[in-house]
A and B are shown apart, each in its own frame.
Chain A
């Protein structure tokens, strides 16, 4: 008997997800208002200068679809990893990366920028995106300091502080909308989340922040395992739970802030993907977080492909698609749990 509980299926699951991610990625760059055959896609990606395909295809792929697909993959991935981290840390299968008020802080930042600084860019990121990034970080710091030292001993204090600050920010957003009726549509659209304006600079920004964040979270997988035994349990096993919680939540906040600064507050991925994967492959966090990154990428690539094809050449906000996918999924999961009599994974 070995003490890894991996049967073959669980151990190879990340490989399967990786292949699915590659497939989803190729599909995502192929479909759209101007479909490009898969054969052309691979050939243009591998030999961009060959010139055997129409110039417009090369342009669409390299200027629009490729950065957008890369962004979808990284945003979906980092949200799902953040969700997996929060679910382990708070020992709650309904935790998600937005629960510390991050999304409402980002919305407030974005709404302020839309009204007061509507144009311009800085370091390759739109001013709106930058404001969202700063908004989410400010909110995170506020929530951490409001909850106080030792907040991890009673996660409820952290969650309460998060809910309070989220309400505060949300009322700020509503106030801005009430005073600026002409910007209501832009603010709402931003809040629903979209990848339509992502270019290469957004991709670089995402890679720069989310790659180290996600790798660090995966590296701390065993720490998360120990943390999921609770504050006193983790302390007794030989770690400092408050310090580790702070490190893991800071990583989550950074990654989530980067994601919302580029794509707005796309919902459900951070909740749904790790929740589902925990049920399929178990709670060991190294494997779970790796799988969550792959699964989050797959899901957002698919959702974004749907968002820009069903009403082509128009687009629907990708957050609407993820919500439409997420709600029935959660209902099915809830029903399954009710039958097995457990709500915990």
Chain B
């Protein structure tokens, strides 16, 4: 099996006042895998990503990013290992799309080097691949939700990280953009990156992910292949919705609410 990118060992976390608690969680994320984090709201998926990125400090246990704690690396070294797309980003006033995407190179260039020709080429390539090259000179504050989400994905990829952590990457996106993203994430995983994404649509996870981590109430309930993990038996109690499994015309198994729950 490919080498371990992220490892959680006996990981526990809770906010200082609050009734939520995460863990204990023991699991490994390998390179070359597209891992979908699936579970109801409040299951702890975003918290787990924040812990992986070093945005939160574990209360107990350890998070290891390539063998070290994400909080012990030099911030730029950590930035080259991992990029994280959080759920509710702030839009820095006045920055154009191209400058915003260029910030993805900060972990490589640092504070005192300007982007060189190779960096520029990479930025242009990503703008083109997301179909946003026409927006390059527009301020990010003037974009629609879907346009901005694509700009953020371009920035995350320009960062060229080993691990890509994304919290609901399909947020705000229409069907074609969502398909484009999920396909791109799978391609990035096939190139050897470790992709971890919170996905809310179980069928998206079924069709694109290599591995599903099913979470509920702060615990990791199941880890495994999407076809094994995502079945009515595992999900019905978790979501409180009756589900039916069906096979589409191409022979792929999918899930939907059963007619009795409509």
A225 interface residue (CB < 8 Å to B): yes
B92 touches A229 (CB 8 A): yes
Main secondary structure of the interface of A (DSSP, over half): loop
* Residues of B contacting A238 in the complex (Cβ-Cβ under 8 angstroms): 75-80, 106-107, 159
Interface residues of B, count at CB 8 A: 41
B99 interface residue (CB < 8 Å to A): yes
B115 interface residue (CB < 8 Å to A): yes
A91-B93, A235-B75, A236-B85 known; A5-B53 Cβ under 8 A = no
Instruction: Tell me the minimal C-beta distance from B46 to chain A in angstroms.
Output: 11
A226 touches B53 (CB 8 A): no
B103 interface residue (CB < 8 Å to A): yes
B93 touches A240 (CB 8 A): no
A229 touches B90 (CB 8 A): yes
* Residues of B contacting A1 in the complex (Cβ-Cβ under 8 angstroms): 98, 124, 133, 136
Instruction: Count chain A CB atoms within 10 A of each CB in B78, B80, B98, B99 and give the residue with the most.
Output: B99
A220 interface residue (CB < 8 Å to B): yes
* Residues of B contacting A219 in the complex (Cβ-Cβ under 8 angstroms): 111-112
* Residues of A contacting B137 in the complex (Cβ-Cβ under 8 angstroms): 5
Q: Could you tell me the distance between the alpha carbons of A76 and B55 in the complex, rounded to whole angstroms?
A: 38
A322-345 with Cβ < 8 A to chain B:
342, 344-345
A293-345 with Cβ < 8 A to chain B:
342, 344-345
Contact with B along A203-238 (1 / 0, CB 8 A): 000000000000000011011011011101101111
A1-41 with Cβ < 8 A to chain B:
1-5
Interface with B: A113-121, A187-195, A276-284, which one? Answer: A276-284
Out of B79, B100, B136, B141, which one reaches A236, CB within 8 Å?
A: B79
Q: Could you tell me the distance between the alpha carbons of A283 and B107 in the complex, rounded to whole angstroms?
A: 20
A236-B53, A236-B79 known; A226-B103 Cβ under 8 A = yes
* Residues of B contacting A284 in the complex (Cβ-Cβ under 8 angstroms): 95, 99
A235 touches B115 (CB 8 A): no
Chain A, Cβ-Cβ closest to B136:
A1
Nearest first, the 8 A-B pairs at minimum CB distance are: A238-B79, A238-B107, A230-B90, A283-B94, A344-B93, A345-B93, A228-B92, A3-B98
18 other contacts beyond A1-B136, A232-B55, A345-B93, with CB at 8 A cut-off?
A3-B99, A3-B102, A4-B98, A5-B137, A91-B92, A225-B92, A228-B92, A229-B92, A233-B86, A235-B75, A235-B84, A236-B84, A236-B85, A237-B79, A283-B94, A284-B95, A344-B93, A345-B94
Q: List 12 A-B residue pairs with CB atoms under 8 Å apart, sorted by A's residue number.
A: A3-B98, A3-B124, A5-B98, A5-B99, A233-B90, A235-B75, A237-B79, A238-B107, A284-B99, A342-B141, A344-B141, A345-B94
Q: Give A contacts to B, CB under 8 Å.
A: 1-5, 91, 93, 219-220, 222-223, 225-226, 228-230, 232-233, 235-240, 278, 282-284, 342, 344-345
